Amino acid sequence: MQQDVLIGVGVSPGLGVGPVAWMPPAVAEPDATSTLGAETADDAVARVRAAAAAVAADLEARAARLEAPRGTEAAPAGMAPAAAEAATVLRTTAMMATDPTLLAGAETLVRAGTGPARAVWQAAGTVIDQLSALGGYLGERTRDVADVRDRVVAHLTGHPAPGVPDLDHPFVLVAGDLAPADTATLDPTRVTAIVTLQGGPTSHTAILARSLGIPAVVAAPGAAALTASDVVLVDGGAGTVTRDPSPEQVERARALAGRARTFDGEGRTADGVRVPLLANVGGPEDAVAAASAGAEGIGLFRTEFCFLDRTEAPSVDEQTTAYRAVLAAFPGRKVVVRTLDAGADKPLPFLTAADEPNPALGVRGLRTSGRDPQVLDDQLAAIARAATAEQADVWVMAPMVATVEETEDFVARCAAHGLTHAGVMVEVPAAALRSGPILARAAFASIGTNDLTQYAMAADRLLGELAPLSTAWQPAVLDLVAATCRGGAQQARPVGVCGEAAADPALAVVLVGLGVTSLSMTPRALADVAAVLASVTRRECEELAALALAAETAQGARDAVRGRLPVLVELGL
């Protein structure tokens, strides 16, 4: 029998199998003119109350499930901190569902003739406005009220509850697209793989999936035909989704999923040239995982991942606590803290304008400090405090730097906080081409190949349709990396790579051959990159880099390099 195989772009390697569960669509705002119709006000009020009670009961039940030991495994001595935190959030949200202010507001509107779903929507709107006006901790609760609102409205209108489905068995999550905030909360023990119809290979959703170790395929429009009755096998390396896999395929997937590779904690070439292999992290939990995976330090701490759901800027104290927890995982080791990279697909409501026509080309990354200097100053103060309190060797860098003036300004601001090791990310072609004068001011550069590729190729990193353009194998991108390294060599400054290119073992050795001095990646890629690096001398890295630069197409560069690395076949990479 011919198997039905859907093709997409593999963005997080590994095999995952399971029944399909669709991410429900966002709950739409009920029509502002909706009325009670034939329903009496008493009946409508009773329905609102019942819907709110059902939502509260559902959230309570989910909290209880999180607190209970899983399946038949031995009872855990204590709940994992993340599960305990999630259970507390669910209980708080459950209480909000039956909040008397919200219900009284909805009842008043219903008695004035408004349809029940609309009444809940509007009453929640009033509560949200009040909480936002109060600000602080209460201001942060507006998202919870919006969540409750969506759940009650979905219940009243007969739609599925919003958010990642809460099923009692592992499943493959299928979605049109996923926001980074949804992806960050996925539980890898429940979600065996992710498939999206849209999405690009270097989108933050893809990056998060990789860091969680969840196999993922994006840009698979054929997945639109999948239903909850399908069982699929997702190959996140090959970019395929196989419907109705055979028992042998399922068996192989489970066996490979259990195979572990390890990293001994020192990146080097076959002839002993040291290339520190560092980790990309988004917060304290990642940092602990990175340390146990043997990372030599942190090459990219994406601080914005700590605050993705915030409506208000986090305080200096709160930031200090979060940063200390990351630094504490790497005493005596290098930790590169990146200042907030808000904007484009990571909007932070307290920094990002909602109405920019081209957010990726807008006030993003370091550019936000022009409009909102206090946020950057507070963050630098928090990083400085955390650095003083912990033992890590703290480096600081700014995202989306394009010019010498921006570099000077950032380095000066860092110095004012006693942060003397200040660098820049090279993500904009202008910075790559002018890295010499930029690195005359900055202590180091770290190339963000995801954005550098997006801006060099003028290809939105979120668009699956443009995936063939969105790869750092593009010779033009490699030229920009080479230019950055030349600037670094001129000024005797280190140039690392912290974009996804560093996690592709074949590309990693090319980067080293181009002059890159350290590589930072998701901890899961460390062992593979280390193994391939250890199979080649520095001279061979340079030869491979020359081969890649001489190619005229991305595919040509990739094929030429891979053809010279037999170790890739041995390792199944």
Positions annotated as catalytic residues are 204, 498
- Among residue numbers 335 through 364, which ones bind ligand PEP (CB under 6 A)? 341
Contact window for ligand PEP (CB under 6 A) among 23-31, 322-330, 448-456, 480-488: 448-456
Cα→Cα distances 405→176, 262, 364, 398, 412, Å? 41, 43, 16, 13, 11
Which C-beta is closer to Mg ion: that of 107 or that of 341? 341
Contact 200, 324 (CB under 8 A): no
Beta strands in 219-289 (DSSP E): 231-235, 240-243, 277-281
Residue 131 interacts with ligand PEP (CB under 6 A)? no
Strands (E) located in 89-180: 171-175
The residue from 97, 191, 206, 300 that contacts ligand PEP (CB under 6 A) is 300
Q: Enumerate residues 6+ apart whose C-beta is below 8 A from 35.
A: 113, 114, 115
Pick the closer one to ligand PEP by CB: 368 or 449: 449
Closest to 467 in 3D by CA, of 98, 68, 201? 201
Q: Spell out, one character per residue from 196 to 225, where the chain touches ligand PEP: x when CB under 6 A holds, - when not.
A: -----------x------------------
| Site for ligand PEP contains 298 (CB under 6 A) | no
**In whole angstroms, what is the distance from residue 463 CA to residue 199 CA?**
5
Q: Which of 30, 448, 513, 515 binds ligand PEP (CB under 6 A)?
A: 448
191 vs 426, beta carbon nearer ligand PEP: 426
Q: Which is nearer to ligand PEP, 407 or 450 (CB)?
A: 450
Helix (H, G, I), strand (E, B) or coil at 419: coil
Q: Which is nearer to ligand PEP, 297 or 448 (CB)?
A: 448
When CB distances are held under 5 to 8 angstroms depending on the partner's kind, the choice from Mg ion, ligand PEP, none that residue 115 binds is: none
Tracing tokens 């990193």 back to the chain, one arrives at: 461
Per-residue 3-state assignment (H helix, E strand, C coil) for 503-550? HCHHHHHHHHHHCCCEEEECHHHHHHHHHHHCCCCHHHHHHHHHHHHH
Rule CB under 6 A: choose which of 116, 199, 499, 515 binds ligand PEP: 499
Contacting range for ligand PEP; rule: CB under 6 A; set: 116-124, 230-238, 449-457, 561-569: 449-457
Q: What does 144 bind: ligand PEP, Mg ion, none (CB cut-off 5 to 8 Å by kind)?
A: none
Size of the site for ligand PEP (CB under 6 A): 11
Rounded distance between C-alpha atoms, residue 114 and residue 153, angstroms: 14
Helix (H/G/I), strand (E/B), else coil: 343? strand
Question: What torsion do the CA atoms of 42, 43, 48, 49 make, to the nearest 10 degrees?
Answer: 70
Nearest to ligand PEP of 116, 499 (CB atom) = 499
Q: Considering the rule CB under 6 A, would residue 450 count as an interface residue with ligand PEP? A: yes
Shortest distance in whole angstroms from residue 451 CB to ligand PEP: 3
CB of 503 to ligand PEP, least distance (A): 11
Q: How far apart are CA 115 and CA 467, in angstroms?
A: 45
Residue ranges of alpha helices (H) inside 245-365 are 247-257, 284-292, 316-327
Minimum separation from the CB atom of position 466 to Mg ion (A): 17
Smallest distance, Mg ion to C-beta of residue 282, A: 13
Tokens of 242: 């196989």
Q: Would you count residue 286 as binding ligand PEP (CB under 6 A)?
A: no
The stretch near ligand PEP (CB under 6 A) out of 182-190, 281-289, 352-360, 443-451 is 443-451
Positions that interact with Mg ion (CB under 5 A): 427, 448, 451
CA distance from start to end of the chain: 29
Nearest approach in angstroms of CB 522 to ligand PEP is 11
Determine which helix (DSSP H) or strand (DSSP E) holds 562, and give its type and residue range.
Answer: helix 554-563
Local structure of residue 273 (DSSP, 8 states): -
Binding mask 417-436 for ligand PEP (x = CB under 6 A): ----------x---------
Output the six-digit token pair for 456: 């060099």
Give the residue with the Cβ less far from Mg ion, 30 or 343: 343
**149 vs 302, beta carbon nearer ligand PEP:** 302
Q: Does 442 bind ligand PEP (CB under 6 A)?
A: no
Q: Cβ 392 to ligand PEP, closest distance in Å?
A: 20
Q: Which residues contact 284 (CB under 8 A, 6 or more apart)?
A: 322, 325, 326, 329
Determine, following the binding rule CB under 6 A, whether residue 279 of this chain makes contact with ligand PEP. no
**Contact of residue 449 among ligand PEP, Mg ion, none (CB under 5-8 Å per partner type):** ligand PEP
Per CB under 6 A, 460 contacts ligand PEP? no
Q: What is the rounded distance in angstroms from the CA atom of residue 497 to the CA atom of residue 519?
A: 5
Select the span of 44-52, 91-99, 221-229, 442-450 touching ligand PEP (CB under 6 A). Answer: 442-450
Rounded Cα gap, residues 340 and 307, in angstroms: 9
- Cα distances (angstroms) measured from residue 298 to each of 276, 503, 559: 10, 14, 31
User: In this complex, which beta carbon is closest to ligand PEP, that of residue 30 or of residue 499?
Assistant: 499
Neighbours of 34 (CB within 10 A): 15
Q: How far is the CB of 180 from ligand PEP (least distance, A)?
A: 10
Using alpha carbons only, give the angle 193, 198, 200 rounded to the nearest 5 degrees: 85
409 near ligand PEP, rule: CB under 6 A: no
Report, in Å, the least distance between residue 448 CB and ligand PEP. 3
Q: CB under 5 to 8 A by kind: which of ligand PEP, Mg ion, none does 300 bind?
A: ligand PEP
With contact defined as beta carbons under 8 Å apart, do 401 and 410 qualify? yes
Which residues contact ligand PEP (rule: CB under 6 A)?
207, 300, 302, 341, 427, 448-451, 498-499
